[in-house]
Structure 1
Amino acid sequence: MNLASHEQAAIIRTERGLTIAGTRTNLYDVMDFLKAQYPPKLIRDKLNLTDVQLTAALSYIAENHTQVEAEYQEVLQTREEIRQYWEEYNRDRFVHLATKPHHPSKEALWEKLEQQKAARASVKL
């Protein structure tokens, strides 16, 4: 098997997208670090990859840049949609929770929390 076909086999398509074989790491995770200008050794360490796995990923990205970049942009869009959904969901949930009365057994804790908030607010002024 030549090196090019070995590198191709090192990147597989799973339900999570283009993935480094033998890991749960997809190429979009590598792309995040590349876009943030992380050096390869730090990417390798952050994602717990071997040198061979990282080399295969970087080679695949370079050789298939247009396809990988297009898929990466779709992933970013999906991430943003999910983030917005949960932000809205949590905003509504926090508003709802804020209207509920405190449990009597935890009133002292809530009073202490309010005192700490007030102290922080006065320090910021």
Structure 2
Amino acid sequence: MDYVKAQYPSKFIQGLFDLTEEQINVALAYIETNRAEVEAEYQQILKEAEELQQYYQEQNCELVARIAAQPPKPGTEAAWEKLRAAKAKRESKT
């Protein structure tokens, strides 16, 4: 539904989901015919996805902070320094 709302071409959606031409045509016809119901269910799905994302962010906040505070694994220091330098350079441009 995200792709339909963003007005992606049906051929793109067809290829993305490996659908036949008949399958994409039937799906798009169903959406058009049942627009109100499809839209209501789509909004419910978006709401539930947002709630889940927020829940897991809250649940994993401490874990993410603990992982971020760990020193780099041995042998990866140079790569981390390169990333830090690239980040600093990017941030100085803004």
Using the size of structure 1 for normalisation, the TM-score is: 0.56
1:55-94 to structure 2, matched below 5 A, reads 55-94=25-64
Alignment coverage as a number of residue pairs: 94
Higher strand share goes to which structure? 1
Q: In 2 relative to 1, CA 111–70 (structure 1 residues): closer, same or farther, beyond 3 Å?
A: closer
Q: CA deviation at 1:74?
A: 0.7
Separation (CA, whole Å) in 1 of partners of 2:74 and 2:10: 55
Separation (CA, whole Å) in 2 of partners of 1:61 and 1:113: 45
Separation (CA, whole Å) in 1 of partners of 2:86 and 2:71: 20
Equivalent position of 1:96 in the other structure: 66
RMSD of equivalent CA atoms: 2.7
| Identity, % of aligned positions | 47
Unaligned runs of 5+ in 1: 1-30
Higher relative contact order (CA 8 A, sep 6+): 1
- 3-state SS in 1 of match to 2:18: coil
Q: CA deviation at 1:86?
A: 2.8
Q: In 2 relative to 1, CA 59–91 (structure 1 residues): closer, same or farther, beyond 3 Å?
A: same
Letter in 2 for 1:58: L
Unaligned runs of 5+ in 2: none
Higher helix share goes to which structure? 2
